[in-house]
Each structure stands twice: as structure tokens, then as C-alpha cells.
Structure 1
Amino acid sequence: MLSDEMSTEKGNETPVFRPSQSVMKPGAHLANPAPLAMGGFATTLLSVSLAMMNFRDVYTQTIFMGDLCFVAGIGMLISAQWEMVRGNTFSYTVLSAFAFFYGGYGVIMIPALGIVDAYGGYTPEYHNALGFFVLLWAVFNLFFLLASCALNLVYFLLFLTLELCLIFDAAGSFVLADGFTDKSANLMTVAGAFAFVSSLLGYYSVLHYLCEESLPFSVPMGDTSRAWKRWCKKPTREGSKGQEELV
């Protein structure tokens, strides 16, 4: 910003433009990117969950590639960059990770890339490979689940149900590779049910952010940060009395 000041030189006043001393704090006037990201996350996950549960006889997920690659993939990735600008490490990591997960999952289903054909079709090898893909993301999501314990109850339940979804999804792929079609379908239905609940929690967080921004009331998220800090503190048995240390 520039400030307009007047200087006097030989009786004449001339304007002098100098840099203003006011400095905008990073993130002070930035919009919250979380509603868009969580909305894309929830919408895409809800669509996939309905197909996993074979709702209205829909099983093939190819129609959802637009949501997977663009709404969730690109949308969440863009939102993640602004979370980085705002200094939110957890949000940046989560949104970036699941943007790549959704995008990668969508890419697998694009017929033109020939990924399925590389395995000779939907062979046991393909289902085992897909099971590994999903299972390793379950491992990654486990870290988000642990970190969310110190944030709020909604995020904790969101990552918990998502973790169960990924585990049952991977198990369904492994069982299908072994030839147990009916058991695989049951596991996929359970995975879809957990994904459905996780998507509803995602929509709830969108409601929280939008109400916080534009409405005179807020929707509680179940803050657990204070309880977590109290739980993590315990009196030390060694050293001076009255001192406490973080475990």
C-alpha cells in the first residue's frame, strides 16, 4: 500500500508517495477454503458409497470419474494450497493426500489408459493390486485419525468411518481375487455403509463452516482439544513438586 504525504520544498507543496508502514498479516483476509474441499470430498465419497452398496442396481463407478478427478481431485488440491498459505499443516496434508487419492482412483477407471487391460481384465491379479492400493491408503489415513483426536469429534468420527471403509474395501478386493464373489459383495456393502456415514460427516463440517461464516449461529463440531490437553498432562513423580510435563 502507498501513503500520500506532502513535502515542502522552497515554499511549494508536492505530493510524495511512500510505502505504507501497515503490513497485512498472512491469512488475515483470506477466505476459508475448507467448505469447498469438504463439500467435494463428501459429494464424491457419497456417490461412490451408493455404488458400493449397489443402490438402485448401480455397481459400475465409471460415471463418477468426473467427481473423482475434478471435483475432489483438482478441487481439493487447489483448496489445500490455500490451507498451506493460512499455515494449517494438518488441513493441507489431509486435503492434498485425498486429492491425490481420489484423482488416482479415478485414473484407474479411465478405459483409454488401459490400466485394467494391463492385467488382462478384471483378473485376480488386478483385484489383489487394487486391494494393495486401497489398503496402503488405509495405513496413511490412520495417521490422520490419530491426529484428529486432538481436534474435534466430527473429524475423529469422519476419519474413523473412512478408515473402516478402506479396510473393508481392501478386504473385499482380496476376497474377490480368491474367487469368493458373494463374500466380496457383502464386504463392499459394509465398506459403502461406512463411506456413506463418513460423507454425511463431511457435509456436516461444510454446514459448520458456512454457518460460522454467514449465519448468526454456529453448528458444534465437538471440540476435543481442551480435553486432549488435560488428558495428556500428568504430575511428574520425579523433580520438584507441582511441576507437570506433557507425555
Structure 2
Amino acid sequence: MESLISRMSPDEQRRAVGAARFGYGPLAHIRNTNEPMLTAFGGEMQPGLYKGVKNRKFANPAPLGLSAFACTTFLLSLINCGTLGLNSNAVVIGLAFAYGGFVQVLAGMWEMAVGNTFGATALTSYGGFWMAFAILLTPGGFHVEDQMVQSDGTSGFLNGIGLFLMAWFIFTFILCLCSIKSTVMFFLLFFTLDLCFLLLGIAHIMNDGTKPNTPILRAGGAFGLATSFLAWYNAFAGLADNSNSFIIARAIYFPWTDVGVMDSNLSEKDDSPA
């Protein structure tokens, strides 16, 4: 593999590496005996080195799961930001059960089928989050809010939601650590989501006895909006290729990754005097 790369010009190397990220081109079928084939790419929900799946029977389920997460997060975050003066989260319930919950869990199970442990863990877990959150929001049917208010008052119910969100902050922090060697946009997805959970948890714990802390809730909603657009970006990255789009999402790598080091070396070669 190194000998093939060394025979290429800097421009050819860039094109080859970029093509390999999408699974085609002169480097797509070159394997290192010690490492998997392709580098990390957010559209595949794969941090670290991409592990190609032989005889894959399923399409890439990551864009479906990312889109389900993005759409539900977008709607709830708009409400948390106070858009159009809305205060009730009731409109989120159906979307959280059907799309953010059920569909995302299905995508997570399909990630398990194609051998992607990270994608399966993340998508299935967040699908479970949306289902659980929809249960908390559902009036009457599950009586969760009624029981907690009766036992601990409205402030206690808000504190309970705050602790619920803090638990997801911890889980997301773990996923964030596992994406440090991935692409910039993929890492930012979990980084902004982690801040969103943290701020929303604090907002509910710092309640005034009747409602969450409004300024902190708004800040959490803003990070939620950023998270939703990053999720859609990564979903687009997994959907768009030369066969269906003139716009291809470029994978941007951190300088400490293998590809980042290669790009840096290529840039240094280009800048060096002839």
C-alpha cells in the first residue's frame, strides 16, 4: 500500500485517499494485514478505522437512525428555545415514539446485523431514550408525572427529569470519548449533544418549583439545534455519493488521526520549494 501511494503525485494521493473514504477508487481494495480498510466516516456511524463488512445483506442503516434522531431533536429543541411562544412538549410525543424511538431502534438493530458495535449501541440507546422520554411526556396513560408530583411535588418531578437527563449526559460523554479519533463533524455531533444533555439537566434541577430554569433551558435548546443539524449532516454524508448527488460531504479529520497526519504531510510537500 505504501509503495502504491509513494508512486502517486500529491494530487493523486489526495484523490485516492478521498475516494477510499467512500469505498471506491485505487485504495478502496487495498488492505493492511494488521488494520481494517477504510478510515472513520460519520455517515457510517464508525469511529476509529472503518471495518468493512463482507457480503453485506443490508444497506447502510446509519443515515436512517441519524435522521430519526435529528428530526426529533430538532422539534424538541425548537420548543426548548421558546419558538413561536410554545411551552408544551406534547407535539413531540408521537414523533418520539414513532420516529426517534421505534425507527431509530430498528436502525440500531440493523447496525448490529452489519457488525457495527458503536452504531448499534448509539442508535439503539438513543431510540430507547426517545421512547422513555415520550413515556414521561405522555399525559394520563403511564401516570409517571402524576405519581411523582403526588409524592415529591412539581419540583421533585422536575428534579427527576434532571437526573434522567444527567444519566444520558454520562452515557453521551462515553460515546464522545470514543469518537475523538473520528471525523470532526462526527465528534462534534456527540460533543454538542453532551452539552445539550448537561444544560437541560441543570435547567430542570435548578427549577423554580413550577418550571425549569428558562435561560439554561434555552441554551440547552440551542445546543440541541446544533446537534440536530450535525446529525443531518452526517446522515447526508452517508447518503450522498457520485451516483445521486453533485454535492459530497467531505470528511474532515483531526490532525492527530492517521489521515490527518497524511494530509498534513501532503500539504507540507506542496508548500516546500521545488
For the superposition of Structure 1 and Structure 2, which TM-score range results when normalised by the shorter chain?
0.7 to 0.9
- Counterpart residue identity of residue 95, structure 1: L
Task: Tell me the SS of whatever aligns to 1:223.
Answer: coil
| d(CA) in 2 for partners of 1:49, 1:167 | 14
Residue 187 of structure 2 corresponds to residue 159 of structure 1:
no
Separation (CA, whole Å) in 2 of partners of 1:80 and 1:219:
23
Residue 145 of structure 1: SS of its match in structure 2? Answer: helix
Q: Which runs of 5+ in 2 are unaligned?
A: 1-52, 261-274
* Partners of 1:120 and 1:28 in 2: CA distance: 50
Please, what TM-score do these two structures have when normalized by structure 2?
0.70
Following the alignment from structure 1 to structure 2, what is the Cα–Cα distance between the partners of residues 217 and 87? 28
Is 1:53 paired with 2:84? Answer: no
The answer on 1:223 being equivalent to 2:250 is no
> Quick check: 1:91 aligned with 2:110?
no
Residues 214 and 159 of structure 1: CA distance in aligned 2, closer, same or farther (over 3 Å):
same
In the alignment, the residues of structure 1 paired with residue 85 and residue 223 of structure 2 have an alpha-carbon distance, to the nearest angstrom, of 19
Percent of pairs identical after alignment?
Answer: 25
Note the residue ranges of structure 1 that are not aligned, 5 or more in a row.
1-24, 232-247
**TM superposition outliers: structure 1 runs of 4+ over 6 Å:** none
CA contact (8 A) 1:149 1:228 kept: no
Preserved CA contact (<8 Å) 1:145 1:156: yes
For 1:214, the aligned partner's letter is N
Cα gap change, 1:216 to 1:56, in 2 (>3 Å): closer
Match of 1:207 among 208, 231, 236: 236
Shift, 1:144, TM fit: 0.6
Cα deviation 1:200-222 (Å, max 9, x = unaligned): 11111121112136336521132
Paired residue type of 1:104: A
Q: 1:187: Cα distance to partner?
A: 0.4
For the 8 Å contact 1:26–1:85, the answer to whether it is kept is: no
Deviation for aligned residue 1:229? 4.8
> 67, 70, 92: which one pairs with 2:95?
67
CA contact (8 A) 1:40 1:75 kept: yes
The Cα of 1:228 is off from its aligned counterpart by 2.8
Q: How does 1:175-194 map to 2 (within 5 A)?
A: 175-176=206-207, 178-179=208-209, 184-194=213-223
Structure with the larger strand share: 1
Contact persistence 2:155–2:210 (CA under 8 A): no
Q: Is the 8 A contact 1:54 1:189 kept in 2?
A: yes
2:166/2:197 contact within 8 Å kept: yes
TM-score (norm 1): 0.77
RMSD between superposed Cα atoms in Å: 2.2
Deviates more, 1:190-199 or 1:104-113: 104-113
Q: Deviations over 1:47-84 (max 9, x none)?
A: 00000011001111111111111101111110111111
Alpha-carbon distance in structure 2 between the residues aligned to 1:214 and 1:29: 21
- The residue identity in structure 2 corresponding to 1:151 is S
Provide closer, same or farther for how the CA distance between residues 43 and 147 of structure 1 changes in structure 2, counting only shifts above 3 A.
same
Separation in 1 of the partners of 2:128 and 2:109? 13
Distance 1:47-1:124 versus aligned 2 partners, 3 A rule: same
Deviation at 1:27, TM superposition (A): 4.8
Within 1, Cα distance between the matches of 2:55 and 2:250?
A: 24
Tell me what 2:227 maps to: 198
Amino acid across the alignment from 2:189: L
